[in-house]
Every structure is written in C-alpha cells, then in structure tokens.
Structure 1
Amino acid sequence: MTAPIETLPVVVIGAGPAGLAAAAHLVDRGLEPLVLEAGPAAGSAVREWAHVRLFSTWGEVVDPAAEKLLAPTGWVKPDAAAYPSGGDWAERYLQPLADVLGGRVRYGATVTGVSRTGRDRIVDADRDAQPFVIHYTAADGSEARVLARAVIDASGTWSTPSPAGGSGLPALGEKNAADRITYRIPDLKNPAVRARYAGKRTAVIGSGASAFTALAHLAELAREESGTHAVWILRRGISGSTFGGGAADQLPARGALGLAAKAAVDDGHADAVTGFRTDAVERDTDGRLVLVGEDGRRLDPVDEVIVLTGLRPDLTFLDELRLGLDERLQAPTALAPLIDPNQHSCGTVYPHGVGELSHPERDAYLVGMKSYGRAPTFLAMTGYEQVRSIAAHLAGDREAAERVELTLPETGVCGGAGLFDEPAAASAGESGGGCCATPATLTIGTPATVSGGC
C-alpha cells in the first residue's frame, strides 16, 4: 500500500549548487529532501571545471539556508569578497553541505525517468493525487525507484553542450573530428593539456563568457609558448557590446574577462572571424581541421577546436511529465519571456520563483541552470532564490513563496534590442554575447588574473 503522499520526500535531482540549496531550504521548512546525484561526490559537474575561477564572489555563491545549516558544524565561510574556483566551490562549500545533509544525498544515482505512479502523461484521472515515481540506476548498476511528493530537477545543463554547427545540429564531420574538438575550457595548467595547445593554432567558437575565458587562457599560453595562436569564430559581428560591460559591469570580474578577451585580439594572439556559421569540419592532408562556413568560406587549417556555443537541457528522462516549455528556449513558459536573449536586456531579468517555474504537472519544477533552458544569462543567486520560493510553496507559505528576497547585479551597459546584434544568434544555439552572457555562475576569472570561464 502506498504511503500518504504528504509523508513522502521531495526528490531533488542533482547535488550541485541549486540542488543542495533546495535541500537546505526544504530542511529549513521541515520537509524531507532526497537528493539523487549521478556523480560520486557533491558538485560533480562543478568539479569538471575545477580550474575555472568564478566571476561571482563567495558572498554571492553561498545560499543563506545552506549557511544556516552549516554554521553549527563549525564551518567557516570563506572571505565574502574573494573569488573561488570551481574546485574551491565544490570542496569548501558544496561537499560540506552535502555531508551535513548526510543520508539525504544518494550518490551514483542516475535518474532515468520520472512519472506519476500508475499514470503516463496521457492519463488525466486523479493525476495530481498520485505521487511521483523516480526511476534511477544505482552506483552498482542495479535499477531502483523511489516515490516522491514533489520533484525538483536541478540537474543542470553541463552534460549537454551545444555543437559547433550553426544550425544547432552538429556540423558535418564534427563527430568524426572528436579527437581534435573539446566542448570545455581546457585546463592549461595541466601539463598534458598544455602540450595539446602549446605551439598550436586553435579555433575558439562562441561569443560568451566561456569563449572569453578560453581566449584569455590561450593568449597567456601564447606569451609563453611561441607558435600558439587562436582563431576566434563568431556567428555575429563585433560591436561595442561584444566584449561585455567592462568597467561598467557590477560584477567586476565578469567585465574584466571581456577586457582580457579584447586584449587577446588587440595584442595579436587571436584573430577574429565574424559572421561565420560552421557548416562542416574537414581534415586536410596533414590531419588538421578545416572549418567550412554556411557561406562557403573555408578557414585556414587549425590543430584544435574549442566549441563554446552554449548548453542545453536534457529533457529525455522527463518525457512522461506534462511540462510547459517555451518552444525556443526550452525554459518554463512563464519564465521564457523574461530571459529571451532575442529581446532581453540584462537589467530586465528580475528574480522569480514558483509562479514562473510551475508547470501543468503540479509540483514538478526545473530549477537552476536547467530552468533557463538554452538561455545564457543564469547566475547562482537566481537559482537560490528559485528554490527558496519553491520550498516555501511546498511548505504552504504562500506569502513567502511570492515574496522577492533578492536583488541581482546589473551590467550597466545593456540596452537597445537586446544582447545580440543579430537575434538569430540566439536561436542558432550560440552562447550569448553582450554583457550578461554566462553559461551559469560557473564562469569567469578574478579581476586581476582573469583566470576562469566555463
């Protein structure tokens, strides 16, 4: 016999920043979370970019409810004004938070499906009264399932980067060239990775914060290793907003990163190729890669390609749920107009919560970077406000759920039609340019070193 639905846990998918913050807020509200994390530790995705420095400070990436949960353990909050790396964030905050949650976090649990018990997505009868059933593969490879009163999907978008192809699909030959292509910012402090790019000609595809970071890192390598050069591939042109907000950005490290990318071009360490949408990736007789544009242009051969064209959500395991998603961004329908990079100006995104994140499927939520779908403007602070509101809603505190408790920084330079000179850049899947382009709070470097990006 099924237990009463109100006695079941709230299942949170993903033990990253938003997922663990959701669990902390649920505990603070007297609700029981169960966090299913596919990786072997907290912040498994964050650990994959451990070498990247955030553009947000410690004071902006520690959730208040999480801090409250950590405080009795003797945990000491890092300097609020300092900029952590991804590794710092995982080791000094995310893992301690998961450790406090203890058995409420289940590692090696890869979610494979979510539905209502006894109801596929077609069935209406008594649907909302049925608990959710979550199927997952455990660390030992066995299949398991758990029932839940609500589901909060904070699994992010890290595992599904967008391709090089300008149409949003892989370019012809892209998969066959996988040995020379990466969709991550290389860790050039790693000797083996450094050797891959030192003295080589590398194409960087993308126009957001991640591309800025890669350009800055390659420029630093070029100053130390002769023959190192970058070719920056942009699907749009270069304008005053291409390099972000600069000194006007209220997140100084984010502005500094754009300036570092500009310096890479100005100092001759990178050449910019504009208005280029990749159609094919070919190999020349020496095995080097040749990028072919939709307009027929063929670029000079490169040794390596770094594709940083944004991220997209994996919705396959949610297929039995009735989600209301925008047809372009794959974000919740009510949220999409607020974050649409075809129209949105950075200062117009206001904090939001359960109202904008609700779906036709009651008590199912996408939060964190996944809630933004393919939009590139997400900050960790936004995710913390999302889960605070959802936890309040699930606890029956309507007033708190609807209240806004966050003020986001602006760049001070956004205006006009939006982030893109060409609105089509967003629909083509490119990580957004302009002043707010970030795959998540996961990006960028310190004002001094500009080491980072994601």
Structure 2
Amino acid sequence: MSAYMTDDLPVVVIGAGPVGLAAAAHLLERGLEPLVLEAGDQPASAVRAWGHVRLFSPWEYDVDDAAVRLLEQTGWESPDRTALPTGAELAERYLAPLAATPQLAGRIRTGTRVVAVSRAGVDKTRTVGREGRAYVVRTVVHGRVQDLTARAVIDASGTWGQRNPLGAAGLPAIGEEQAGDWLVGPLPDVLGRDRARFAGEHTLVIGMGHSAANTLLALVELQGSAPGTQISWAIRGRSPARLYGGGDSDGLPARGLLGSTLKAAVRAGHVELHREVTLTEVAPTGDGRLRVTGTGRDGAAVDLQVDALAAATGFRPDLDVLREVRLSLDPGVEAPTQLAPLIDPDFHSCGTVPPHGHRELTHPDEGFYLVGMKSYGRAPTFLLATGYEQVRSIAAALAGDLEAADRVQLRLPSTGVCSTDLGAREAAETAGVGFPTGSAHGRSAEAEPASCCGPAPQPVPVGTSAAD
C-alpha cells in the first residue's frame, strides 16, 4: 500500500482507558474507523489498578457524551450522577460495558503494547514527502512484533506506571533502583489486600498530591485497629497548603474534605510531617528496614528507618515510544507547546483551564495527538471531562468538520483549591497561623495524576479529623 493512501486506514487509539474509549466513540460517530490498542489484558487496566480508590469527581464529570449514546443503545442505565464512584465501579459500571458494546468490542485489541510510532517509509529526519504519509504503529503481542498502519494516531496511554523518581533534580535517589522491596505504589490498598504490608509498621509517604493524601488517610484509619502503625510524610515544598485546599469552598466536596481531613490528622499528631525535604539516599539496614536520608527544613538532617515507602511523587509521560514522531512539546512541562502555558504548575496550582481541543494539541506531524493525562505531560492538573472534550474536538477535526472541532466547550466544577491568594495561604500555613479558606475561588481542572480524576478520602476514625 502506498504511504499516501490513508483513507481506508483506521485511526489508532493507544490505550483503552476512559479517554481512549471516548475517543473511539467519537470517531465512530464521525464515520471514522477506530482501532484501540490496550497493553493490559482487559480494557481500563490502569483504572482497575486503583480500583479501591473513590474518585472525588461525581459520575456527572466521569462519563463522556458519545460513550453514553453508545451505551444507551444497549439499555444501559446511568448511575446516580451525583454519586462518587470508585475506580472499580468506574471500570465495571461504565468502561467494561462501553468496551463490550457491539460497535467497540471488535475494535479493541488487548494485550497489545505499543513500543514505537513513526511515519511510513521515513524516519524523523526526513522532511520532503513526509506530509500525508500513514503512521506505522509497532506493537508487541505475546512477544511477537507486529507493525500496524494508521491514518492518524491518538495517544491516550496516560502516565500510570511512569513514576517520577524520589530524588532531587528529577533524578533517582542514590540506591533507589535497589529499594524495590520497600517501595509501594502511589495508591496501595492499605485497608484491603495490602493491609498486612502496613499494619504495625512505619510507612513513609513522599509526595503532595491527592495520591499521597489518600494513602495517608488510609494509614490513619489503620492506626485505629493496628497499634504500632507509624506514619511519616515528606514533602519538597515549604507548606502543604496546596493539598489542604479550599475546604468547603471546593466545587468538588470530596476533594475539599480530603485536604481538610489530612490537615486535621497532621495537627492531631497522627502523621509526622517533614517539610522542604530533599531526599538523597535510600539503603537497606541490617534488620530488614529501609534507611531514608536527606535534608529538611533549614538544612536539618532527615534520617528515617521505615518498613515501607509510598512513592506518591507524581508521573511523567513515556516519550520514548514517540522518538520518531515530530512533536512540539514544552521543554519544561512536556505538554504540547500551545497547551503548556495553560497548565504549567509553576503558575497554576489548578488555575483556570480554558476549553481546548485539536488546535492546542497539534504537532508538526499532522494527525498525531497526545490526549488525556499524557497531554498534560508532567502537570498534575487534569479531569476526565477535559480529556473527553479533547477527543470530541479531535474526532471532528479528523472528519474535516473544523467548525465543530473549534467549538470547544468545557464545564468544570468551581473549586477553592485554585486560589488567587494561594501564596498568602502557604505563607500563613508555614508560619502556623490561620487563613480564611472561604476567600479562595476560581475554576479548576485539577485532579489526581494517577487516576485522572482524583481519589476521595477514605473514612477516618472518629476523633482523628475535623472538617477538611
């Protein structure tokens, strides 16, 4: 087949998570042929990995319109739009039925890992004759390499599994590669299947996102039934005010409760907080524990011996598979160049994320798009609703309907987490004085990088917390 004959080729969608399946639904509505490639053994494999976690965004913001239209043809009934699903509920009640619809079931290939994307017949250096060529998507299925061709590629593979390292400067701490026996994921099932791993033990949680908060609060609950359970929390910043958030001012109440409950647990002494930590080295001790050393506030030494280390340090996109694609990425955030200023965490704790679509997500290689959490690069501010609007716009653009593609709209919940007075709140928190949470305002696309929609707090024992 000629490299220029692409009309009969499918649009390859990488990843069968919420945004990938939504992309397939929108492509079908536009008369385009999707082919969804999922590395896991079933759709929504990454979501199932944190199935025990409850989202802080209700069903209203967790389902895509085109996907719902497909589901309703099968008699599917929507869950209560105000309820907060767990990851497992999101997978079983929405994503699994969506993947099983007659329109999508035969267009999803599981157990298919994408290892490279390029243009047919040319490498990255070739400019002449590049435009209009099909894409080559190299996959591995049960150890066998297979190349597929596509008219366009939508990478919705997310960032789950690509954890940021523990050390400073974006590099692993000394000894981190050998500390696997003590490292646990960002969202362990503390109160369920992983309980024995933490009960009566000393756990260090590193990070200041919603994954960290969720794990910390689960450990606080575990303390009530497992004497000797010790919790340490290390953050790189001077204050956890960003995570504590806006409390009752948050447009997603569960997210507001998450931060305020954690704040109360720290104040009550259930969690030992270490601020401004630069972790330098981790090393096994002679008695089976892990020694964690570094510096903390005002240069004070940090020297902890722990039984488990929960690395909730956030995620970064896997760009190695895209080495042969001509990308336009912000050098810092690693998001598409036109999107990056809207989500840069140096300037937006959550910020106002304006509606954006195909134009903000384009790259020098036409027809290639990063969407969903991966489109945000290293920025941790993302809601599923944002990804759904991204793929709606892209599907319209690929179908040639630029008017619809450019008509991007996004309705997001208001939140007190994204505050214009955040700097003052951080300073007040650092100084140990109060600051009125009710003054926070703004709109947010802020969410948990691991889940792409954010975990709600686990229940906390009576007496360990006040309002968040």
Please give the TM-score of this superposition, normalised by the length of structure 1: 0.92
For residues 224-261 of structure 1, give each alpha carbon's deviation from its aligned partner in whole angstroms, at most 9, with x where no partner exists. Answer: 11111210101112264441121111011111111221
Q: 1:344 to 1:132 in 2, by over 3 A?
A: same
CA–CA separation in structure 1 for the residues paired with 2:140 and 2:454: 31
Q: 1:185 to 1:157 in 2, by over 3 A?
A: same
Spell out the pairing of 1:133-282 with structure 2 (5 A cutoff).
Answer: 133-138=136-141, 140-191=142-193, 193-238=194-239, 240-282=241-283
Q: Secondary structure at the match of 2:106?
A: helix
Query: Does structure 2 conserve the Cα–Cα contact (< 8 Å) formed by 1:341 and 1:419?
Result: no
Query: Does structure 2 conserve the Cα–Cα contact (< 8 Å) formed by 1:344 and 1:417?
Result: no
Residue 415, structure 1, aligned to residue 420, structure 2: yes
Q: 1:163 to 1:419 in 2, by over 3 A?
A: farther
Q: In the alignment, which of 132, 137, 145 is matched to residue 135 of structure 2? A: 132
Query: Does structure 1 conserve the Cα–Cα contact (< 8 Å) formed by 2:186 and 2:212?
Result: no
Code of the residue aligned with 2:420 in structure 1: it is G
Q: Secondary structure at the match of 2:375?
A: helix
CA–CA separation in structure 1 for the residues paired with 2:175 and 2:459: 39
> Counterpart of 2:431?
none
For residues 389-423 of structure 1, give each alpha carbon's deviation from its aligned partner in whole angstroms, at most 9, with x where no partner exists. Answer: 0001001111111112221123135115779969x
Query: Does structure 1 conserve the Cα–Cα contact (< 8 Å) formed by 2:291 and 2:304?
Result: yes
CA–CA separation in structure 1 for the residues paired with 2:178 and 2:314: 21
> Counterpart of 1:377?
381
Spell out the pairing of 1:302-321 with structure 2 (5 A cutoff).
Answer: 302-321=306-325
Query: Does structure 2 conserve the Cα–Cα contact (< 8 Å) formed by 1:324 and 1:332?
Result: yes
CA–CA separation in structure 1 for the residues paired with 2:34 and 2:71: 16
Q: Secondary structure at the match of 2:69?
A: helix
Tell me how far 1:267 sits from its aligned partner: 2.4
**Aligned-residue RMSD, C-alpha:** 2.1
Spell out the pairing of 1:12-161 with structure 2 (5 A cutoff).
Answer: 12-100=13-101, 101-138=104-141, 140-161=142-163
CA–CA separation in structure 1 for the residues paired with 2:314 and 2:213: 13
Q: Secondary structure at the match of 1:301?
A: strand
For residues 342-364 of structure 1, give each alpha carbon's deviation from its aligned partner in whole angstroms, at most 9, with x where no partner exists. Answer: 01252421121111100011110
Q: Secondary structure at the match of 1:112?
A: strand
CA–CA separation in structure 2 for the residues paired with 1:222 and 1:381: 36
Q: Secondary structure at the match of 1:263?
A: helix
Tell me how far 1:215 sits from its aligned partner: 0.8
Tell me how far 1:122 sits from its aligned partner: 0.5
> Counterpart of 1:425?
none
For residues 39-93 of structure 1, give each alpha carbon's deviation from its aligned partner in whole angstroms, at most 9, with x where no partner exists. Answer: 1111011111111111111111010000001111111111111111111111111
Q: Secondary structure at the match of 1:411?
A: coil
CA–CA separation in structure 2 for the residues paired with 1:378 and 1:299: 34
Q: Secondary structure at the match of 1:299?
A: strand
Query: Does structure 2 conserve the Cα–Cα contact (< 8 Å) formed by 1:231 and 1:270?
Result: yes
> Counterpart of 2:448?
438
For residues 326-377 of structure 1, give each alpha carbon's deviation from its aligned partner in whole angstroms, at most 9, with x where no partner exists. Answer: 1111100100010001012524211211111000111100000000000001
Query: Does structure 1 conserve the Cα–Cα contact (< 8 Å) formed by 2:218 and 2:459?
Result: no
Q: 1:405 to 1:120 in 2, by over 3 A?
A: same
Q: 1:333 to 1:366 in 2, by over 3 A?
A: same
> Counterpart of 1:354?
358
Tell me how far 1:437 sits from its aligned partner: 5.5
CA–CA separation in structure 2 for the residues paired with 1:238 and 1:272: 10
Structure 1 stretch displaced more, 368-377 or 119-128: 119-128
CA–CA separation in structure 2 for the residues paired with 1:267 and 1:214: 17
Q: Secondary structure at the match of 2:36?
A: strand
Tell me how far 1:443 sits from its aligned partner: 2.0
> Counterpart of 1:429?
none
Tell me how far 1:170 sits from its aligned partner: 1.0
CA–CA separation in structure 2 for the residues paired with 1:122 and 1:289: 46
Code of the residue aligned with 1:20 in structure 2: it is L
Code of the residue aligned with 1:263 in structure 2: it is A
Structure 1 stretch displaced more, 401-410 or 153-162: 401-410
Structure 2 unaligned runs (5+)?
Answer: 428-441, 462-468
Q: How many residues align?
A: 437
Structure 1 stretch displaced more, 180-189 or 393-402: 180-189
Q: 1:343 to 1:4 in 2, by over 3 A?
A: same
Question: Percent identity between the aligned chains?
Answer: 52
For residues 115-144 of structure 1, give each alpha carbon's deviation from its aligned partner in whole angstroms, at most 9, with x where no partner exists. Answer: 110010000112112111111012x32211
Q: Secondary structure at the match of 2:224?
A: helix
CA–CA separation in structure 1 for the residues paired with 2:425 and 2:71: 41
CA–CA separation in structure 1 for the residues paired with 2:290 and 2:405: 52
